[in-house]
A and B are shown apart, each in its own frame.
Chain A
Amino acid sequence: MSLLDFARGPGLHWAFIIFVFGICWRFVGTLLIARRIKLSTPRRTDNWLMGLKAIETRSWPVEEFHRVIRFQHYSGYIWHISFFIVLFFFQPHILFFKSILGISWPGLPNDVILVVGAIAVATLVALLGRRLSHPVLRKISNVDDYISWLVTTLPLITGFMAFAHVGGRYETLLALHILSVELLMVWFPFGKLIHAVLVVPSRFQIGASFGRRGVRA
């Protein structure tokens, strides 16, 4: 079995199983920890609405904090959006999804994908530089932060290499690209990348929790 066969076959198969099972395990395991029943009389009973509102309001820098946190917010948006554009609108990726899901959608020209991919990598590099140089981020960062950065950046780098046929045989580069995606999928349930799943309930619960006290959060 060649490296590419492994990456396309059992590698992808097991990465997917770990990805899905790991996420479910972590999400359900978190929910199964004893819940705290609130016995105090709520000031507002429409707190679930405030929970839903918080999902939206926490998506943007709150006005009073805007000046000090806008870089993190907007750089986060730039890299997330560019990453997903590359993931879902690069023609070979669409073919891959079609082979699995049976559906396809229009893609973007390669030139556009290259530019967007470069923006994603540049933003990730800038964010890493900030993490290494900003005193707060350096202080609070742990291994997870750096592994998560690495496994997120590698698919973009190997993707570029495979696209440009730079650094080895195409089959080998393609295999490395697929393996890097699998690495991302395997790490996803264990590190901080899980926030992609948990961010919605987390935002909801703070909005609802403060909301029952009558506080907009």
Chain B
Amino acid sequence: MSLNQESFQEFREVIRQLGETVQPVEGLTDNERVRRAKQVFLTRVHSAMAMDLETCIHCGMCAEACHFYAQTKNPKYTPILKVEPLRQYYRRELGPHRWLFKLVSRDITAKMLEEWQELVYDSCTECGRCSMICPMGINVSAMISVVRQAVAEAGYMPAELRAVEKEQNEKGTTFGAGPNELKAALQKMREDGVDVSIDKDKADVMVLISGFGINITQDALLATVKIMNHLGVNWTIRTDAYECAHFGMLSGREQTLRNSTQRVINAAISCGAKTVVTGECGYGYTALRWEGARRYGKPLPFTVMSISEFLGQQLQAGRLRVRKVPQQKSVTFHDPCKVGRIGGVFEEPRALLNALGVELREMADPVQTNWCCGGGGGVFLNNRAAPLRQAAFESKRSAVVETGAESVVVSCDSCRMTFEIGKANAHWEIPIESLVVLVGENLAD
């Protein structure tokens, strides 16, 4: 099944107008903006990051790993340059030789933070590929995330991201997909004869979905429900905590991320979930799987798995039974950066594709250095960045074309949107398929 094109076009229109729904952050003095940014730097820099900041030799190799540089050859997109406000702050106010650098280096300014907005939001998807190339072993991507948070706190953030972040902070929803919209979508499934486990008091598995799943990728939502029923596990979707996306993380607003994470943790504890399965959402996975415990303050009392990981393990355990896809076809699999390179899930989605009997044609770069689709980090929502995103998408498109595969399988809603937008802009005819949908449509009886 392909994406509902009507919903997809409506969604594109929503994105176009998203930025107009919020007002720019005003009333902050330059000093206040700088103070806020520095506060972020002070709280986010840790010893490992300090080591990275001290070790850089300015070799510029990270540029070669960045799809924004690779496609534009504009040196300002060099990843390490995106870290500059943090580096300047660190040397002057936190590093061991601050007594010296305070005398001979310049302080960061509000103007600098404003200028860096484009570098950390429009031309960085936080994909982490730059961290894989550095000969010094510097985790460049992690530092760019810190700069992004500082720029956000200083009041400089793309309006589209601010709009969704604000909505999630105030209402707990994204793109207007509230509990009523979720219930309506699930009710429609019931009417079609699909059993839906909703708001169970006790469940072993709690499933998270995203506002996308309710609004646009309903095929993935339906497939998820069918698969969970097929597995026969005690599962549920909770209307008080179903949102998988974390626009606090995408935008760099810590408080929003903390709130959305806590909401999910509370619901999972409340229903006694042993496993929380994040839907096809890259940030949703990494925010809970790798960052959730830090915000909770202790190890999470449940296991977190991405849906591709969960289904792969269910397959290997013999609980998930799939049939071969009816028409033999070749596919290539796009690893979402936050699930693959940042999250460590590589084998399970491939095990699923193997069980489905498709011919998997891997892209030239190995899984951990796979090109990003260009839409991560909220870039797919950022209207100002659309031309850059399309340019970056070319790296991915070329990698896919080289495989000669008949279709692309993805396992992240935002990647799926980016592929759909990118292929439409490039007049590229290739089916973009959701892994979950592929599994859901081919469950063995």
Task: Name A's B-contacting residues (CB within 8 A).
Answer: 25-26, 28-36, 38-41, 43, 54-55, 58-59, 62, 64-65, 68-69, 72-73, 76, 134-142, 144-145, 189-190, 192, 194-195, 198-199, 201-207, 209-210, 213-217
Report whether A192 and B75 are in contact in the complex, using a CB–CB cutoff of 8 Å.
Answer: no
CB pair A34 B46 closer than 8 Å = yes
User: Of B56, B134, B366, which is within 8 A of A192 by CB?
Assistant: B56
Interface residues of B in 341-365 (CB under 8 A from A): 341-346, 364-365
CA distance A195 to B296 in the complex (A): 36
CB distance from B294 to the nearest CB of A (A): 6
Q: In the assembled complex, which residues on chain A have CB atoms less than 8 Å from the CB atom of B58?
A: 137, 140-142, 144-145, 192
B219 to chain A, nearest CB (A): 29
Interface centre among A55, A140, A189, A204 (most CB of B within 10 A): A140
For B296, the closest partner residue in chain A by CB is A39
Query: Least Cβ distance of A73 to chain B in Å?
Result: 7
Chain B residues whose C-beta falls within 8 Å of the C-beta of A30 in the assembled complex:
47, 50-51, 54, 95-96
A33 touches B50 (CB 8 A): yes
A residues less than 8 Å from B75 (CB atoms): 135-136, 138-140
Q: A40-B300, A205-B137 are in contact. List 15 more A-B contacts (CB 8 A).
A: A33-B50, A39-B294, A59-B135, A72-B60, A76-B135, A134-B60, A139-B75, A140-B75, A142-B58, A192-B57, A192-B58, A198-B51, A199-B55, A203-B137, A215-B341
Q: How far is the CB of A190 from chain B (nearest CB, A)?
A: 6
Judged by a CB distance under 8 angstroms, whether B233 is at the interface is: no
Q: How many Å from the CB of A131 to the closest CB on chain B?
A: 8
* Cα separation A84 to B126 with both chains bound (whole Å): 38
Interface string of B39-82 (1 = CB under 8 A from A): 00000011111111011111111011100010001011010110
Residues of A within 8 A of B59 (CB): 72, 76, 137
Residue interface mask B221-248, A partner, CB < 8 A = 1? 0000000000000000000000000000
* B100 lies within 8 A of A190 (CB): yes
A-chain residues with CB within 8 Å of residue B341 when the two chains form the complex: 215
Which A residues are in CB contact (< 8 Å) with B57? 192, 195
- CA separation between A213 and B365, bound complex, in Å? 20
Count chain A CB atoms within 10 A of each CB in B59, B75, B131, B291 and give the residue with the most.
Answer: B59
Give bound CA distance, A204 to B137, whole Å: 8
Rounded to whole Å, the gap between the CB of B96 and the closest CB of chain A is: 3
B136 in contact (CB, < 8 A): yes
With A29-B96, A201-B51 as given contacts, are A40 and B60 in contact (CB-CB < 8 Å)? no
A190 neighbours in B (Cβ, 8 Å): 97, 100
Cα separation A138 to B63 with both chains bound (whole Å): 13
Asked if B303 is at the interface of the complex by the 8 Å CB criterion, the answer is: yes
Task: Assess the B64–A58 pair: CB atoms within 8 A.
Answer: no
A198 touches B46 (CB 8 A): no
Contact call B47/A58, Cβ cutoff below 8 A: no
* Cα of A207 to Cα of B45 in the assembled complex, Å: 19
* Residues from chain A with Cβ under 8 Å of B132 in the complex: 62, 217
Q: Is B251 an interface residue (CB 8 A)?
A: no
Q: Is the interface of A mostly helix, strand, loop or mixed?
A: helix
CB-contact partner of B47 in A32, A137, A207, under 8 A: A32
**Residue of A with least CB distance to B80:** A140
Contact status A29-B344, CB under 8 Å = no
A217 to B365, CA, bound (A): 14
Q: Is B177 an interface residue (CB 8 A)?
A: no
Contact pick for A198, options B54, B343, B365, CB 8 Å: B54
Within 8 Å by CB of B137, from A73, A136, A199, lies A199
Task: Given A30-B50, A203-B136, verify A135-B73 contact (CB < 8 Å).
Answer: yes
Closest chain B CB from A136 CB (angstroms)? 4
Pair A195/B136 contact, Cβ less than 8 Å = yes
Q: Which 10 A-B pairs have the closest CB atoms?
A: A29-B96, A214-B344, A203-B137, A39-B293, A139-B75, A36-B46, A213-B344, A206-B137, A68-B64, A136-B60
Query: Which of B46, B48, B136, B303 sits near A58, CB closer than 8 Å?
Result: B136
Interface mask (B83-118 → A, CB under 8 Å = 1, otherwise 0): 000000000001111001000000000000000000
CB-CB under 8 A from B123, the residues of chain A are none
The docked-state distance in angstroms from the alpha carbon of A217 to that of B65 is 14
Question: Does B139 reach chain A (CB closer than 8 Å)?
Answer: yes
A115 to B188 Cα, complex, angstroms: 80
CA distance A119 to B297 in the complex (A): 55
Among A33, A203, A206, point to the contact of B94 (Cβ < 8 A): A33
| Closest Cβ–Cβ distance, residue A35 to chain B (whole Å) | 5
Q: Contact: A217 with B290, CB < 8 Å?
A: no
- Tell which of A76, A199, A215 has the most Cβ of chain B within 10 Å: A215
| Identity of the chain A residue whose Cβ is nearest the Cβ of B79 in the assembled complex | A140
Q: Are A194 and B47 touching (Cβ within 8 A)?
A: no
Interface residues in B257-294 (C-beta closer than 8 Å to A): 289-294
The CA of A36 and the CA of B143, in the complex, are separated in Å by 14
Query: Chain B nearest CB: distance from A79 CB in Å?
Result: 13
Known A-B contacts A30-B96, A190-B97, A205-B51; A54 and B135 likewise in contact (beta carbons under 8 Å): no
List chain B residues, Cβ under 8 A from A205: 48, 51, 137
Provide a sorted-by-A list of 22 A–B residue pairs whose CB atoms are within 8 angstroms.
A25-B97, A29-B95, A33-B47, A34-B46, A39-B299, A40-B300, A41-B300, A54-B137, A64-B364, A134-B60, A136-B78, A142-B58, A192-B56, A195-B56, A195-B136, A198-B51, A213-B290, A214-B346, A215-B341, A215-B342, A215-B368, A217-B131
